[in-house]
Chains A and B, each alone.
Chain A
Amino acid sequence: MSLAMETGLCQGNDDPNPNETLKIPERLLKRDQARLKEAERRKDVKESSSVAEENSDVFFTTFNSERASIDALLSTCTETTRENASEVLEEATIKTQQLQQFLNDSMMFLTPFNLKQAQATLQALQTSLSEKRDEVLPKKKFAFKSRNVKGKTTLSPSSSITEIPRAARDKKTTVDTAVSPMQCGFSSADSQVLIKTADEIQQRDVLLSHLTGCKVRLLGSPSTLHIKHVRDCEILCGPVSSSVFVDQCTGCTLALPCQQLRTHNTKDTRIYLHVTSRAIIEDCQGVSFAPFTWTYSNLDADFTVSGLDRNRNNWDQVDDFNWLAAGTPSPNWTIIPENDRKTSWDELLPASSE
């Protein structure tokens, strides 16, 4: 009875608005449908727009059709159609570049395998393009070299002819680089006393090369100093404004002030140094350092000319590029103990060299 009462009561509660029991599910249903529709719509939008491009199938279809069109372009271009061959090749080159760009842009969503494949295809395409160019327009590269008259008369220039301008150019480069009005120095000397005065040196690049057993005095302020392939020499130099390069030096004694010292491939060499920034060694062994002690009459004036700071000398701070371990000192260089340091230098007069 009480149960019936309760159900009755429940029913009674619902009774006053019987429509509502139907309305709620209907509203829910509608909302659900609307939601599904919206999802569908979004999906459509998504598929129809940008994401379609970010799909490897789509990518490959486009990629392959582009590649085929470039291939076709290349095959139309033969030796017989030389007049317009260059235009065709140009077009093919541009298309290939565009294809490369397309691949680059698509890199994000391609699998590594697909990417590799596409890159290989592109590589092959570029190879065949350049082969084609060589075949159809064999000497295009050299057309602007100073032999256009010659080039016109030569129908099929042999490879030896194409070598000429290149060789000539290389030769010119070497000549160009070797001769400098601003360079002076000594080279290829054996057991001599070699002296340069301030007038000869002042703010020039000085080069000392292939010297053996010589005593060299540079009484002035060079802009840079190069010391190369030198054996058993004593080289004393005035303040160098910028860098000193030492390369392939063995058993030498050097004394010089400079801004930077760069030492390479050098063995068993003692360097009396004034350096305002840093000295470095690379591929060196048995190099030892001490403060600069040499002096000559015009040293003070030359220091002024060079612009070097006399009060800053980092002679004992040497960076070894082959010894990057911090904390442990490099085994390739040492400091010359104080009692072993040279304090007096032979006085050589310019006259004695003549």
Chain B
Amino acid sequence: MGLLTILKKMKHKEREMRLLMLGLDNAGKTTILKKFNGEDVSTISPTLGFNIKTLEHRGFKLNIWDVGGQKSLRSYWRNYFESTDGLVWVVDSADRLRLEDCKQELSALLLEERLAGATLLVFANKQDLPGALSKEAIQEALALDDIKTHHWCIIGCSAVTGENLLTGVDWLLDDIAARIFTIE
């Protein structure tokens, strides 16, 4: 038995995944993380640094990294790329002014070698706001259809109400599991 096979089996046994959550500031990354974990979301502050949560979902152990999105923190994003199985890109659907910024940051990320194998989930967040763009509009604005290098999916959600958060994470888990845990 080769070493790689052993390692794969170990990872399989643990059923552990590492998810990295990124996006512009005020996209709602921390709110998604806390809501998903069943915590209070009314007192969240802009993230100075990062949050990590480890939680169990559908028999998987998820390590979710939520890194602050302020401009001055974006240069540190790369410190969190290593061994990421899934990338969650969070978009503030109501923030029309910065969609171009958002598109550029995302496309820069997708060129990163260390994220090459990661599955991409785009959360079109804040769908509960009356001024929010639809997930189709976000898909077009971010030119997601041009992405050929990663498996991707866009889900419209609301971190405040919790709508569709599970749908998104479940899709992500399925896609990653199909890729990593193939020896069953």
Please list the residues of chain A having a beta carbon within 8 angstroms of any beta carbon in chain B: 50-51, 53-54, 104-105, 108-109, 169, 172-174, 176-178, 180-183, 203-205, 207, 223-224, 226, 228, 243, 245, 260, 262, 264, 276-278, 280, 282-283, 309, 319, 321-322, 324
Residues 1-16 of chain B, each 1 if its beta carbon lies under 8 Å from chain A, else 0: 1111101000000000
The 7 closest A-B pairs by CB, nearest first: A182-B131, A278-B45, A177-B96, A50-B2, A321-B72, A280-B46, A277-B45
Residue in contact with A260 in the complex, picked from B5, B7, B26, B130, CB distance below 8 Å: B26
In the complex, residue of chain A having the shortest beta-carbon distance to the beta carbon of B130: A182
A319 to B117, CA, bound (A): 35
Residues of A within 8 A of B140 (CB): 169, 172-173, 176
Q: Is the CB of B131 within 8 A of A204?
A: yes
Residues of B within 8 A of A176 (CB): 96, 133, 137, 140-141
Is B48 an interface residue, CB under 8 A from the partner?
A: yes
A-B contact count (CB 8 A): 96
A54 to B4, CA, bound (A): 9
Residue in contact with A276 in the complex, picked from B43, B46, B72, B97, CB distance below 8 Å: B43
Q: Is the CB of B45 within 8 A of A319?
A: yes
Q: Is the CB of B141 within 8 A of A321?
A: no
Q: Is the CB of B72 within 8 A of A322?
A: yes
Among B46, B71, B130, the most chain A Cβ lie within 10 Å of the Cβ of B46
- Beyond A108-B3, A109-B3, A282-B70, is A224–B94 a contact (Cβ under 8 Å)? yes
Q: Is the CB of B137 within 8 A of A181?
A: no
A53 to B71, CA, bound (A): 46
**Count of residues in B whose CB is under 8 Å from the partner chain:** 32
For the residues of A in contact with B, the DSSP-based class is mixed
Q: Is the CB of B26 within 8 A of A50?
A: no
Residue in contact with B73 in the complex, picked from A104, A173, A207, A321, CB distance below 8 Å: A321
Residues of B within 8 A of A105 (CB): 4
Q: Is the CB of A223 within 8 A of B130?
A: yes
- Beyond A282-B70, A321-B48, is A223–B4 a contact (Cβ under 8 Å)? no
